[in-house]
Structure 1
């Protein structure tokens, strides 16, 4: 399953790394592709959207399902 999230608040590659790391630590996430240019994260796996959004929010960014 693939989930696309709009991520706001990222300004640099450090931000991308922080979001990617946070997403990949969630049980059920197989892969996370985070794009600064597109301001989005594409997550592959079985994690629910609420968990993904919560992980991104904990890092200090905003997220919503696309």
Structure 2
């Protein structure tokens, strides 16, 4: 389960990096904006999937909060 969480977190950071590269890209403005918007949409979708996955794993008992 930890591997899946780390993989999704890495995908979120990768999508954010892709948006940054698209922002700094040398293409025309319309293409740059479209690529950046698509990368940010992927980041939002992956973040929501990660959050829902953590909630599901907690409900199923696969992960448990620390009793600190």
**Do the two structures share a fold, i.e. TM-score over 0.5?**
no
TM-score normalized by structure 1? Answer: 0.31
Q: Which has the higher strand share?
A: 1
Structure ranking higher on relative contact order (CA contacts 8 Å, 6+ apart):
1
TM-score normalized by structure 2? Answer: 0.31
Q: Which has the higher helix share?
A: 2
